[in-house]
Structures are given as structure tokens and as C-alpha cells.
Amino acid sequence: MLNFERDTDKSLENSKKHGITVHEAKSVFADTNGKLIDDPDHSDEEERYILLGLSANLRLLTVCHCYREQDSTIRIISARKATNPEAKNY
């Protein structure tokens, strides 16, 4: 079972800006065809990753996240609809 954490204020901002709820963003981690990509450009303080995958609402999303507590917890940083180049990469 995956555990998730989030910043409540930032999650609300993300939902307003991109129309993606935390619940929908979490569902991307169940996509067995999801594509995990390192994000070295944003990994100064912690290793960050990008996951391209289908959500439970069948939308292709880009979810930026990092792992906590020896990979047992995932912190969702942001989620948005994938761009056209990202969709082609998926």
C-alpha cells in the first residue's frame, strides 16, 4: 500500500490552477504503464521525479513527486494535464 503526503494549501492551489485533485493525482500511481522520469533540474534539496500516467478519470497527467521515509511515503508536489510532447512520450 502506498502512503501519500501533501501540503494542503499547495494542493488547493494546484487544484484551482490545473483542475487536478490530489485524489486524482494519487490514482496515476496505479497505472502499470506509467512512465517514471528523473527530474534533476528540480532535485537540489531532494530527489524529485515525474510520473506520466493515466488517472482514474482517464486523463493523462504529469505528477511531480518525491519519496519520503525510505520510499514508503510519496509526497505529491504538483499535478497537471500532460502537454502534447509529454503525451507522445507516454
Taking only the tens place, the pLDDT of each residue in 48-90 is 999 999 999 999 999 999 988 766 899 999 999 999 999 999 9
In one letter, which amino acid is 39? D
Q: Which residues face 5 on adjacent strands?
A: 75
pTM score: 0.86
Pairing mode, if any, of strands 48-54 and 35-38?
Answer: antiparallel
Identify the CA nearest to 52 among candidates 34, 29, 25: 34
pLDDT at 71: 65
- Give start and end residues of each alpha helix (H) in 4-71: 8-18, 22-27
pLDDT recorded at residue 31 = 97
Which pLDDT tens digit goes with each residue over 3-59? 888 888 888 888 888 899 999 999 999 999 999 999 877 667 788 999 999 999 999
Question: Which amino acid would we find at residue 26?
Answer: K
- Provide the pLDDT for residue 49: 95
Q: List the chain domain ranges.
A: 3-89
